Structure 1
Amino acid sequence: MADWTAWIGRRIAQQDVLTPSALARFRATIDSDEIGDVAAQAIHWCLCLPDAPTATLGPDGHPLRADSPDSFMPPIPLPRRMWAASDVRFHAPIAAGAAIARTSTLAAIKEKNGATGQLVFAEVEHETRADGVLAVSERQTIVFRAPAPVAAPAPAPVSTDAPDLSAWTWRRDLVPSEAMLFRYSALTFNSHRIHYDLPYARDEEGYRGLVVHGPLTATLLLDLAQRELGANALAAFTMRAQAPAFVGEPMHLVGRAKDGGWEMAAIGSDGRTIMAAEAKA
């Protein structure tokens, strides 16, 4: 693997506006019952979006990575990528009409060998300001992986009965649909084909179905916290993706008090943890 040291510290700045219509579409996508002009925590993932021309997209739908002074992410040769983790701090709410400015800095690149082969972890620090006020800071980890082995995708869980969730005090059950994924891809201008192209997701990346976006799962967990605690109640939210979630398979969003905050998770119908998270007020 190449030495990516020279890329560390590379920075991009983006601008946006949270329009009332974008906020309404965000709420509709996740079936939120919130009202008013102040957005829920998670709206920042729908702002300052990628805007690469269609002609520059790679086979997976992501922008091609090039060794260019204009590129933010280095040309890591591993083709598969996923949002693996985030450590988010909420500083101030974001209201409809706010002018948004985000600065993103490539903070670290680490290479590891895992059970599935070579992995590269890129850590990006984001600062999002609304009308000049720091609203959200986040350290995001993106993992790059080798191509999927040529093999049949793993079968769906045999049982669709809910696992034992009696130890959790918060709970929302849902089944992600194709329409929900389409809407979230549109909200975030995300053209990664694993979210809408079933033959690609199955035959090229080895998934058994369309994959639920990691940020969408995290958004649904933050929406659960808002339903339980009220609007913009959290000061910190950390999450780690552990397994993919798929269209048509039940997902259980759960939470409970722990160590002065809350432990949260998205759990599949077979009991596997899709996403683990912690939140603090």
Structure 2
Amino acid sequence: MGEWDAWLGREQVQTDTLPPSLAQRWLATFDLEQRDSGAMPQGIHFCLCTPEAPQAALGEDGHPARSADDKSFFPPIPLPRRMWAASKIEFLAPIEIGAAISRTSRIASVAEKDGSTGRLGFVDVEHLTVADGTPAVREVQTLVYRDAMAPDAPLSPPSPGDGGFDPAQWQSHRTVTPDPRLLFRFSALTFNTHRIHYDAPYARDIERYRGLVVHGPLMSSLLLQMAAGELGENALKSFAFRAVSPAIADEVLHIAMRPSDDGFELGTFASDGRQVVKASATV
């Protein structure tokens, strides 16, 4: 028996709707065309069934605090730094504006390991999002928990070096500079109160990032929009992403896509060529 076995299989069910107002705010955040009805682009599910913890139940980092009681969906792994490290997503059906949403979440696995930077905790969460009674998105989300940073630890990531990104190696390419306004809007859309995305002193002094950190799902949303531009809306059957390095607000990101042997390879890169997110997709 493992320490966290009591959490395996634990489920949480949330309900929501996708009103026109939320759809329009999501589209406005990404400078996409407004619409009054119809299917929304892939990625809108990131904004549905968002965290519901009351203010008094938030931890220092802004995430819902974890505890050992039966009300805590996540196990109380004693590592303070939390990161959304990866997701594997299946798109089963488009989500329409006005749809009634339910999402069933299940703790699929919990593990602790020793890494090069210290102890690591891994939690896989399975989500099934249903829209108007039809399964729409199946996702396995991997969360990583890490030790606290020493107050004198080097800031991460290093400042951009002398290298560069070569767009000639990719079929599709664009640049974007996520600024604090974009980070704030995405945090609001997803009801994400993690302080690394909006509290610069906390991000720097406590978690030792060089600046505000760009959300992994925000960059994944940009990649999904690139795929939609190349392949058509709601064309993807699957999409997977993995965060490999932090992206910092107000710094240029390269968004890229190219065919691969089994679908498409996508990624985001810093100005010096450092990869930030690795992703893949199938149609």
Name the structure 2 match of 1:84: 85
Q: How does 1:228-243 map to 2 (within 5 A)?
A: 228-243=230-245
1:162–1:31 CA distance, 2 compared to 1 (3 A): farther
Root-mean-square deviation over aligned CA pairs: 1.3
Shift of 1:162: 4.7
Shift of 1:227: 1.1
2:216 to 214, 223, 243: 214
Name the structure 2 match of 1:15: 15
Shift of 1:149: 2.3
| Residues 20 and 37, structure 1, Cα contact 8 Å, conserved in 2 | no
Greater shift, 34-43 or 98-107, is seen at 34-43
- Which structure 2 residue ranges, 5 or more long, are not aligned? none
Name the structure 1 match of 2:261: 259
> So what's the TM-score if we normalise by structure 1?
0.96
- Which structure 1 residue ranges, 5 or more long, are not aligned? none
| Alpha-carbon distance between aligned partners in 2 of 1:158 and 1:109, rounded to the nearest angstrom | 37
Q: Which amino acid aligns with 1:29?
A: T
Shift of 1:111: 1.2
Question: For residues 82-129 of structure 1, what are the alpha-carbon distances to aligned partners after superposition, in whole Å with 9 as ceiling and x for unaligned?
Answer: 011111000000010000000000000111111110001000000000
Q: Which amino acid aligns with 2:18?
A: L
Q: Which amino acid aligns with 1:140?
A: Q
Q: How does 1:61-140 map to 2 (within 5 A)?
A: 61-140=62-141
| Alpha-carbon distance between aligned partners in 1 of 2:165 and 2:237, rounded to the nearest angstrom | 30
Name the structure 2 match of 1:277: 279
Question: For residues 244-271 of structure 1, what are the alpha-carbon distances to aligned partners after superposition, in whole Å with 9 as ceiling and x for unaligned?
Answer: 1110110011000011410000111111
| Alpha-carbon distance between aligned partners in 2 of 1:86 and 1:63, rounded to the nearest angstrom | 20
| Alpha-carbon distance between aligned partners in 2 of 1:202 and 1:131, rounded to the nearest angstrom | 43
| Alpha-carbon distance between aligned partners in 2 of 1:114 and 1:167, rounded to the nearest angstrom | 33
| Alpha-carbon distance between aligned partners in 2 of 1:198 and 1:145, rounded to the nearest angstrom | 20
Runs ≥4 residues deviating over 6 A: none
Question: Aligned pairs, how many?
Answer: 279
| Alpha-carbon distance between aligned partners in 2 of 1:66 and 1:191, rounded to the nearest angstrom | 18
Shift of 1:70: 1.2
| Alpha-carbon distance between aligned partners in 2 of 1:267 and 1:153, rounded to the nearest angstrom | 19
Percent identity between the two aligned chains: 51
Shift of 1:34: 6.5
> So what's the TM-score if we normalise by structure 2?
0.96
Instruction: Please give the secondary structure, in 1, of the residue aligned with 2:279.
Output: strand
Name the structure 2 match of 1:247: 249
Is the aligned partner of 1:142 residue 2:143? yes
